[in-house]
Structure 1
Amino acid sequence: MSHLTPWTKRIICLVILLCLATAATPRLFEFNDNTFSLTPEITGTAKTGNNETRILAAIDDIRSGNMADARATVDALLDEQPNYRLAQLLRADLYAMRAMPLETIGGGVASAPGDALDDLRKEALVRIAHRNEDQATANKLPANIVVFAPNQKYAILVDASTSRLYVFANENGKPKRIKDHYVVVGKLGVDKKFEGDQRSPLGVYFVTSHLTRPQLDKTYGALADLYGVGAWPISYPNELDRSQKRTGYGIWLHGSPAATYARAPQASNGCVVLTNEEMLKVSSYLQPGNTPVIVAPQVEWLSESEWLQRQTAALALLSEWKSKWESLDANTYLNFYGAEFRSAEGQTLDAWRNQKTTVNTGKTWTKIQLSDISIFAAGENSTQLVTTFKQDYRSNNLENQMRKRLYWQRSEQGWKIIWEGAAAI
């Protein structure tokens, strides 16, 4: 080809290249050639139910190797709740598991911050633990709800150990479980003692009011989003908290920020937080000024016969206290009071004893009636009782009516009153 001109050589090379390209092109698009066929992904069936039921079903499917259904369920959840971080984590894991097996939840996003992964794993674990526990406690009653007052339609019970909120209805005086939800408590857990300790309080409280989202927007501006659909303040610090010098304020039941479907089990500054959807459901059972909110370190579950025994014993205790007061026998009456007792006015046990002994010297008879009684239990293993009632007191030289509250503490010496006074709410 030495006699050919440079342009002729270029044209011949171009023709050869075009011929080769033409021959190769059909090979790339021969779909019937097994060398280039792709295996289609199996289409799964999404589980139905509420969001928690579905997230747990997805975890079950992953554990059992049913990845197609797990993917379908997670995808459906995220279509509805795109900010559901636990579902986002499972989706990342499902993609990662196409290439390699994973040993733990979140193994597919190893580059994510460790704290964030730990929080999501904790959320998954407490949801799983609740499901397992729920099967064992479904037919049991909570020791924390002892006696409903007649006008109390519902009670809220928070189990801090399982991040669970229960709604109980007053069914002819007996607590009937009607709803339960995953909740978030304080970043540093429970047993609040002072302002800013990032703990949720333990005890018996009452819903005091309802702060709507428009009210929150007006008061807090952009920060109102922290409370989601609204807030329902509770009565922390209660009478006993104040007598024990516990501080803090602004403890609410409230919803979640718009960008976050659910948070870690311990992520609030002390409030009890639900998803917005579930907060709205719970709100229909809240009566400001009336609905108790009991926050327990761990709920004690009882059989019906055990629960009835507890109720009978608590009512008998209150009745015996009233009877000894009516008897004008100061010594036996004062045996109901503990060494750490404080009255609403701040009196110690010695000051209380002196006052009652002096008052009784001027009495010839006393008659006391108690009505609208409620009794709720708090503390580890239900070691605190909170009794509230309308008291109608009559004697030969005095008559008065009040709504009273007694806080009792169980000790080696039995049940002792540690605070007495007018009920704040």
Structure 2
Amino acid sequence: MLKIIILIFLGVNLFASDIFELYRTKGISAVEKELEKSLKDIGAWEKYLENKNVDYGFYETKKYIIVAQKNNKKISLYEKDKDDFKKVSTDSIIVGEKEGDKLVEGDKKTPEGAYELTQKRTGLDQFYGPFALVTAYPDNFDKSLNRKGHGIWIHGMPLNGDRELFTQGCIALNNDKLEALEKNIDYKQAVLITTNEDFKKATKSDIALILSTIYKWKDAWKYSKIDEYLSYYSKDFKRADRSDINTFSSQKRAVFAKNEDKTINLFNLDISPYPNSLGKKMYKVLMDEEYFSPSVRFIGKKELFIEIVNNKVQILTED
């Protein structure tokens, strides 16, 4: 991330000689302050993204993007190749028997969204083919909407030679294609994006807006600017436990009132388009967080599900 900060800084705000002079006359804290300012500048991020392909998202840790389209029953694998995405394969699939987004257990629908792959399962009933790749459905956004269900996999066809016309909600493809897909990826570095319609590509303007907003949000969080901080949350905000924005606001006001000195580091950002049946322009943000204060020490993952409304980022769910 430091490399990114410096590249943004050099590309937009100051030349190397300016950084040198700033450091020489005012020290490293002044340089750090200017770097932090650049991270909150949407123009800086637009410049940084200028020659990067973000059609399938912005990724610092993920390498493989799998896009499954339910309407045309196709699955495509893309591999992140430096600043671009390389298409590796496109194959036919079968999906849930019922149309629409998954809502409840047993509705026979394939969910829509962006999901991590959590494990490879073998030794299954022959119905599922040679193995299955397990998705993270339901994620925290699904849980915030009280959506139910489990066991959504990418799996193969029955080993006895039968071919199904539909699944119970999973994504299935021919066994040789499943094996080729798994061979071409590290599932721990993969994201599955499922959509009901043709995939809508991300835009550089959206990604730049999200990145600059994340650092503005972090700044408000770090310096306990409670009203600014809460302005980044949707009135429809809900956590996975379904607690709402009023509960969240009350909790945060109590914490921010302590006005503790905090160190917050966010890095390894992955931003995925998040197709959905709600008509929202959504993205999922997953990143590493380091949070240190006199009362709390946390090192782990931070996950945001955000909506872009009127060119403004609004957080719908957070974990």
> By the TM > 0.5 criterion, same fold?
yes
Query: What amino acid does structure 2 have at the position aligned with 1:392?
Result: E
TM-score, scaled relative to structure 1: 0.58
1 or 2 for the larger relative contact order (CA 8 Å, sep ≥6)? 2
Query: Which is higher, the Rg of structure 1 or of structure 2?
Result: 1
Aligned 8 A contact 1:147 1:173 in 2: no
Aligned pairs for 1:9-158 (under 5 A) are: 143=55, 145-150=56-61, 152-158=62-68
373, 394, 403: which one aligns with 2:292: 394
The match for 1:160 is: 70
Secondary structure of the structure 1 residue equivalent to 2:207: helix
Tell whether 2:175 aligns with 1:279: no
Of the three residues 218, 229, 236, the one matched with 2:137 is: 236
Letter in 2 for 1:157: V
| Residue of structure 1 in register with 2:22 after alignment | none
Q: Give the corresponding residue for 2:239.
A: 343
Choose the corresponding residue for 1:296, options 183, 195, 201: 195
Q: Answer yes or no: is the 8 Å Cα contact 2:271–2:283 preserved in 1.
A: yes
Contact 1:207 1:286 in 2 (8 A): no
Other-structure match for 2:12: none
Paired position in structure 2 for 1:250: 151
SS in 2 for 1:388: strand
CA shift for structure 1 position 297: 2.1
Cα deviation, 1:14-67, whole Å, max 9, x if unaligned, reads xxxxxxxxxxxxxxxxxxxxxxxxxxxxxxxxxxxxxxxxxxxxxxxxxxxxxx
How many positions carry a matched residue from both structures?
266
Q: Distance in 1 between matches of 2:241 and 2:195?
A: 27
Specify every segment of 5 or more residues in structure 2 that has no aligned partner in the other structure, as ranges: 1-52
Q: 1:364 to 1:210 in 2, by over 3 A?
A: closer
Q: Structure 2: how far apart are the matches of 1:261 and 1:170? A: 35
Cα separation, 1, equivalents of 2:200 and 2:57: 12
Q: CA deviation at 1:333?
A: 0.7
Q: Tell me by how many angstroms 1:204 deviates.
A: 1.4
Encode CA deviations 1:357-380: one digit per residue, 9 max, x unaligned.
111121243331101111111125
Is the partner of 1:393 in helix, strand or coil? strand
Query: What is the rounded CA distance, in whole Å, between the counterparts of 1:195 and 1:142 in structure 2?
Result: 34
Give the Cα–Cα distance (whole angstroms) in 1 for the partners of residues 58 and 289 of structure 2: 17
Question: 1:390 corresponds to which letter in structure 2?
Answer: D
Q: What's the CA shift for 1:400?
A: 2.2
Query: Structure 1, residues 51-103: CA drift from partner, whole Å, max 9, x if none?
Result: xxxxxxxxxxxxxxxxxxxxxxxxxxxxxxxxxxxxxxxxxxxxxxxxxxxxx
Q: Which residue of 2 aligns with 1:29?
A: none
Q: Is the alpha carbon distance of 1:324 and 1:174 closer, same or farther for their aligned partners in structure 2, counting shifts above 3 Å?
A: farther
1:382 is displaced (CA, Å) by 7.0
Aligned with residue 175 of structure 1, among 78, 85, 107 = 85
Corresponding residue of 2:272? 376
Question: Is contact 2:280-2:307 (8 Å) kept?
Answer: no
Cα offset, 1:278, TM superposition: 0.6
Look up the equivalent residue of 2:230 and give its one-letter code. L
TM-score normalized by the length of structure 2: 0.75
Letter in 1 for 2:306: W
3-state SS of paired residue (2:235) = strand
Aligned to 1:49: none
Q: How far apart are 1:399 and its partner, in Å?
A: 3.2
Contact 1:157/1:167 (8 A) holds in 2: yes
- Contact 1:363–1:396 (8 Å) recurs in 2: no
